Amino acid sequence: MNSRPVADTRLSDLLLALATETDMSLDAVRSAIAEAPEFEADIWSFALEWGVMTSEVVPNEALAQAEAVAPPRGVGSWAAAEVHDPFAGKSPSDLKAIATLVDLPFSILSKLCQRLIDATTIPLALVRALAPHLNVKPGELFAFLDLKPTLATADYRSTVRPEVSEKMSFAVAVRTTDMPAGQRDKWLSLAE
């Protein structure tokens, strides 16, 4: 009988929890390190790559360890689990209701559904707010948003397949969407 070894997902689980369930402050990073000291270099590297830490904040010995972790990884590579579409089966009226609940214009939520926004630029507060309405964990939602963009599901009649747009930053999506000034300011402050 052949048995496949079970992948050790402790590091990816820890990093996804750090990114989606904490404010990724210095205290949160140190707490994650205390929970799994064997992954100290990976945790420091992750925090540096995500731009939540600067090299001035990271202790010198930890910085040397973090720089030794190779190759540099994005959050998408930390998660090895199969990714499911949390928007599947949601009607347009369901999505409009969710957009209203999280105070987000429907057009931006539509861009998120199509993965047209760079996941690393989406405020973690938004990922955390959306996840319960989609019945997923924040890390699962982030893993979906980090996939390549998709085409809209509309039919097309052409011999040439339409091209998928490049991902945009969340801040660009906010700036190019019509919304009240207060709502725009709120999302821009979270995105920048």
Indicate whether 122 and 74 sit together in one domain: no
**Mean pLDDT of the 50-67 span:** 55
Rounded CA separation 191/112 (Å) = 15
**HSE (CB half, 13 Å, CA atoms) of 37?**
1
In a domain, 16, yes or no: yes
Query: pLDDT class for 60, splitting at 50, 70, 90?
Result: low
Query: pLDDT class for 75, splitting at 50, 70, 90?
Result: very low
Indicate whether 71 and 126 sit together in one domain: no
**For position 146, what pLDDT does the model report?**
86
Indicate whether 70 and 16 sit together in one domain: yes
Which pTM does this prediction carry? Answer: 0.59
In this structure, of 10-24, 73-87, 169-183, the range with the lowest mean pLDDT score is 73-87
Rounded CA separation 68/64 (Å) = 6
**Res. 65: pLDDT tops 90:** no
**For position 78, what pLDDT does the model report?**
43
In degrees and rounded to multiples of 5, residue 75 shows phi and psi of -65, -30
- Residue ending a domain, among 22, 49, 78, is 78
Encode pLDDT of 86-138 as tens digits: 999 999 999 999 999 999 999 999 999 999 999 888 887 788 889 889 998 77
In a domain, 5, yes or no: no
Nearest-10 Cα torsion for 22, 27, 30, 35: -50
In this structure, of 52-56, 75-79, 142-146, the range with the lowest mean pLDDT score is 75-79
Count CB atoms within 10 A of the CB of residue 50: 16
For residues 33 and 40, the answer to whether their CB atoms sit within 8 Å is: yes
42 versus 106: the higher-pLDDT residue is 106
Indicate whether 109 and 179 sit together in one domain: yes
Indicate whether 135 and 163 sit together in one domain: yes
**For position 72, what pLDDT does the model report?**
41
Encode pLDDT of 162-187 as tens digits: 566 789 999 999 999 999 999 999 99
Nearest-10 Cα torsion for 51, 76, 40, 26: 30
In a domain, 84, yes or no: no
Range of the domain at 58: 10-78
Rounded CA separation 12/98 (Å) = 28
Query: pLDDT class for 85, splitting at 50, 70, 90?
Result: very high
Indicate whether 63 and 103 sit together in one domain: no
Q: How far from each other are the two terminal CA atoms of the chain, in whole angstroms?
A: 53
